Amino acid sequence: WVFLWEKGYQETDSVVSSVTTKVKGVTLTNTSTLGARIWDAADYVIPPQEENAVFVMTNAILTLNQSQGRCPELPDDETECKAKNDCVPGYVSTHSNGIQTGECVPYNSSIKTCEVFAWCPVEDDYHIPKPAFLQEAENFTLLVKNNIWYPKFNFSKRNILPTINSTYLKNCIYDSQTDPFCPIFRLGKIVEAAGQNFQEMAVEGGVMAVQINWDCNLDRAASHCVPKYSFRRLDNKDSAHTVSPGYNFRFAKYYKGGEGTESRTLVKAYGIRFDIIVFGKAGKFNVIPTMINIGSGLALFGVATVLCDVVVLYCMKKRYYYREKKYKYVEDYEL
């Protein structure tokens, strides 16, 4: 077991890794708010570069042309009012969009809310778009470039193998059966391989892991050291975790008008974060672990003898018979 299965004759080392990513894909949306608009990687990959990860926006709530001023707060139990006395000047709660001015103003024809000094109009994120704003994101592709190094053996390699040429790289898409070493992944296939539905996940977002395993036997040729890919969802998706599901954050794009007035477009972005996790170990023959494991094995033979004696002499039914055969009692001549 130690020598053949666990390779006890080898010295081992853990992997050192670096990862870079690139997402490609274009989609068209046509809404009453934005009209016809093309979205490319510069729009939906936020930020452009992350360490060992990439975020792809799949859904969004857009609040256009915000500027600083006074406007009614979103209605809820704390902000709805009937008279000026219901609003407290300077009050700010955890979920406020701004600072209350102390005025009670109409939110619409039937509801009044406390006025706030904020970026107006305030964001209304009560209703998440369904289906997802960027449904076609499942057809986007993710290129993962992974370089690994085993410092103890001074062995390095990357997941774009020497057998892969530029022509193949431009046309291949990862498939566990037909293209297991292609480093380009279709986002929909990644989610599907983890047993999830992409369109459902795209609405509120989530976190996916792209796992790259480099287990290498360096006693064999370097060509046998190849990556193995696997996928799983990291955030919880079940009926017991319905509070604050998925993954989202906000960012804004700022503008200045001709008169120097500042405005912004606020984006609440929902999407899928792909974490690239690299792990593995390498082994190579070394005399020292070989001798240590041989010595340990020989020591175990001595322990086996003692254990067998204990079982035979104290546990078995014929222990008295075996004891008589094992030990010979002699009389002391002097006594």
pLDDT on residue 241: 64
Answer yes or no: is 250 a known binding residue. yes
Answer yes or no: is 141 a known binding residue: yes
Q: Name which of 125, 82, 83, 119 is nearest 99 in CA terms.
A: 119
**Helix or strand (DSSP H, E) at 144:** strand 141-150
Q: What is the pLDDT of residues 45-84, one digit of tens each?
A: 999 989 899 999 999 999 999 999 999 999 988 899 999 8
**Choice between 273 and 321, residue whose per-residue pLDDT is larger:** 273
Domain residue ranges in the chain? 13-68+122-284, 74-119, 288-326
How does pLDDT run across 119-147, given as a tens digit for each residue?
A: 999 999 889 999 999 999 999 999 999 99
Do residues 281 and 12 touch, judged by C-beta distance below 8 A?
Answer: yes
Query: pLDDT confidence of 185, banded at 50, 70, 90?
Result: very high
Q: What is the pLDDT of residue 187?
A: 97
Token reading at 58: 């799949």
**Choice among 107-111, 144-148, 164-168, 322-326 with the minimum mean pLDDT:** 322-326
Annotation-wise, does 23 bind a ligand?
A: yes
CATH of domain 13-68+122-284: 2.60.490.10
d(CA 26, CA 136): 8
- What mean pLDDT do residues 186-198 have? 95
Lowest mean pLDDT among 43-47, 104-108, 243-247: 243-247
249 is in an annotated binding site: yes
Tokens representing 143 are: 């290129």
Residue 24 counted as an annotated binding residue: yes
Residues 179-200, mean pLDDT to the nearest whole number: 95
- Share the mean pLDDT of the chain: 89
CA distance 299 to 306: 11
pLDDT band at 3 (very low <50, low <70, confident <90, very high): low
